[in-house]
Every structure is written in structure tokens, then in C-alpha cells.
Amino acid sequence: MAIYTIEKNERICEAAEIYRLTFKAPDITAKASAGQIIHIVCGGDANSLRRPISICECDGDSVIICFEVRGAGTRELAARGAGDTIDVIGPYGKGFPILSGKVALVGGGIGIYPLISAAKAVKAAGGEPVALLGFRNKELMNMTDTFDNYCDKVMIATDDGSYGHHGFVTAILEQYLDENPDASVFVCGPRGMMAAVSKISLEKGNECYVSMEERMGCGVGACLACVCKTQFVGNEGKGEKYTRVCVDGPVFNAKEVIWE
């Protein structure tokens, strides 16, 4: 574990308790890749379970994370400010592949955050990242200006039609893939949305990578609390297994994931 100093912690959405926290951690930024996670002690008890949070962006020597207050731990994390400390281990897990072609970054709700580092990496590799972001309504939109910094285009869908496309982000994705049949897809968000995006992508013949979000215990692969069902091909044909999200993910090829 390591203790870092918080540089800034600010609320970024008035309609929900969503915060952007920045802390200086050059040892993490030196080795982190897009889509990886860190584990944070959110409560006052250092022996409490850590919360897994995706890295949103590395900016110089600083790590940026975004999170929504969901319970006592994240509420305590939200209350910390510049100069306070944060107990972090990581980065852990397998992130997104670094691609240099066209990539559709499909995010829903608070699942958009790891896609920012992915957009930045794809852009740096000479690729063409496009963000397709879904929110319940206009009031919950956040961080879209950061996507503007790295993406060739940002398209928004809202469930209630208060901004952008009226409906689900999958409708925008289908149109984009019809126009860009060689594009790959990165997705993070609610499980149902990721399952739908995976189905659309694979049926159209596009590579798709999903960032799974599961409750984690130890965060280092020992407790088996965060497994998801995947499929594999062996000498005796296809089979199913349970795979640890914390170390074997959180990013998987959509072909591997069994959504039922």
C-alpha cells in the first residue's frame, strides 16, 4: 500500500453526488495503462475492504478518478479535500488494448470514466477515437468536455431526450458501425447495456472489449469474490469457467463473456 496526498476533490454533477478526485502518484502514472483499476481505503478503518475504482486519467504525475457516492465509504472519500491523504494500492488488472484504428468508446452513466484514459491512449497511438455516451438525462451529463479533448467526435444519447439522441446509446452505435465497419468497440457501463453493445458489435463482425464492474473483496485475485462467467476453447471443445475480474480483467474480449 502507499499513502498519497490529494491535490483536488470537486463535485462535478449537481444532479448526482459525483466527484473528480486528483492525487499525485508518479509511481502509479509511470506504469498505469488505460482501463486499469486502483483499490482505495475509503473509510476510516484501514482494515476495511478497499473500493475498486477505475483510473479516469493520468495527467503528468497525477492520477484522476471519478466516483459517485453510493455508501458510507464513498461519502467519506467525497468529504476529503486538498492536503488530505488517500491509501491506494495498484494499478491492477488488464486494461484496453492500444489500437491505432477507429474505436467507438461506448459509455453509460458512471461507466464512462475508464474510457477517458482509453480515448487518450488511442489518440496517442494515431487512432480515431469517437465517444458514444449515454445518460438518463441532460442533468446527469458530466466529463463530456474531457472526451472532447481526445475524441474526434462525441455523440450523446439521453433516455428522456433532453439532450442529443432520444433513446439508448446502442442506436447511435448501430449507425456508427454501419458507417464504419472496420471500427473496434470499447464499452463500460451498466451490465445490460454492455451485453447489448457486445451483441450488436459481434453480430456486425466488429471487435469489442468490455470493462466489467463486479464487487471485489481482496482486489488481488485471492478471494474469488469478483468472478464473471466466461467461455474458452480447449482441446476438448468449448467450455465455461469463472474468471477473476480484478486480475484477469477488468477488460475482456466480448467473445469471452457469458452474459446470462
pLDDT in tens, 176-218: 999 999 999 999 999 999 999 999 999 999 999 999 976 666 6
Q: Which domains does the chain have, with CATH numbers?
A: 2-92 (2.40.30.10), 102-211 (3.40.50.80)
Contact between 8 and 84 under an 8 Å Cβ cutoff? The reply is: no
Mean pLDDT score across all residues of the chain: 92
Q: How many CB atoms lie within 10 A of CB 91?
A: 22
Residue 36's Cβ-side half-sphere holds a number of Cα atoms within 13 Å equal to 23
pLDDT at position 48: 64
**Planar angle of CA 186, 218, 81, nearest 5 degrees:** 75
Rounded CA-CA distance 201/119 in Å is: 18
pLDDT at residue 46 above 60? Answer: no
pTM of the model: 0.93
Identify the weakest region by mean pLDDT among 68-82, 100-114, 222-236.
Answer: 222-236
CA 194 vs. chain centroid, Å, equals: 12
